[in-house]
Structure 1
């Protein structure tokens, strides 16, 4: 890409931020709180999966990897959003915008692809339980995680390179909080059906194809579960997939609405709200969804918190809180199903 030839456009300005100082401060603290909860919840899951030997299984390996991606995914845009909320100049260079978009789209695509790998894990566990230890080895899991990241960034690099090779108009304002595909495409001059189709192809590869694979996996899972004679067995099998299905609907619902549609349907206010939902809402809800009904994960997180509390207070007299945390998350009270 020849950045010098992008017309006279050298900087972009975000127009979605509130102009009122009081609203800016309120927005800053609100986003900061949500971001802190996102980092805390996902870091606890990563630490629990790494430190607890009983969680060293493919299912939890994927869950820890998903949380690691969520941490990086939000870090690609949220710190910049917080900085822009308080400063008067809310601009970004073309190169900075492209870089932000590469990481945001790349990590988001990796997230979608990893959810497809997790669906395959559930398919093997339910439809081929005897072969599960032989098929879903940790080596295969690591390869699927790495492949998700590589494919996600390859799609992102091609998409961003294509977008920023197009001629930009003289308008500098982005009706958004960060550099995302739909609002940036609004600045492209002479955008035609061919340009929109190119963006749609990339979005289809990153969103529609993984979702199709997830749908096929759960179709086989549903068929296998319906053949189970015991009602308790069917309920237990479905419960192992409920958390994953909830996350899939949250992630793919927002992404499909934003990217799998023609560019003229873009509406600034509505799309800004939806983008915040899948940028902040989904990474915030994922740790809750995967832990609230998962006794093993709650027990592991309780042990991580207890160790952290103990290490901070071992020189003082505040160990009661540690014993409470450990007591509330005793691992032997856990069941092994992920629901």
Structure 2
């Protein structure tokens, strides 16, 4: 038993090392690729010179340096942070709901965050400065979470499938409210809302990265520390309760933390669906069901996936940027159908 467990941990460790290497490679490729191609060695030279001034003799133009450092690098890093956060939240939600289809997008959390961001942009104004949009997005995400929980209790929708259906229904209602906000807003400013409706990373700035990075730094240790509780929740509420876990309070805490992460990510990236649905399934297929391994692998895979989705969004219709939500929606929709097919196949045997 112990050798098998040690082998599993070693394979997980090797996978994490491989994932980190793939993440670094993805960042370099993401910064290099675009309407103006920049060689990888130039990218590395610019980054090294920024981190350690004078370390590399600048053989590149000021224009290329601006493209790499001011535009693409923060965009790629934001993609990695958003992908990691959404994947981690999706994994945690799938555990506490015991639903393999749970996802911040399908449960209406992303829609609530987008509605909060739209309310701040078109109606309330930035009354708290740069913090306004993330805080309003979090408030919207938290409100959507509480509404979904209230609907499931009101409709006695205790099953996993009905929870997702409740989330989808609430998502439609919230998006209708968001559309009303757009309709009543200043027509000259409504075009900016398309960013939040379709998802995009083109507005990324270095100053923006502090918020998603800070939220991940605050919430990731909590989820990792509660990995054993997440494992117990996947078995069932009764088993978790016998292990001393306050089931209702723990589930609500995970939802609140998930709303916090989703709200901040949506505030800077718009609605990006299916990342939280797909990545945890891939992570479990690679390392098994233990959340002590699923969570870190999901973080890495989520970051890598969204960086490459953004690369596709920037190159498929170059020099125009395709909204990244379209790319993740196409990939995620196919994955969702395949997942439903696999579940139907298992149930039919």
TM over 0.5: no
Q: Normalising by structure 2, what TM-score?
A: 0.29
- When Rg is computed on C-alpha atoms for both structures, the one with the higher figure is 1
Q: Normalising by structure 1, what TM-score?
A: 0.30
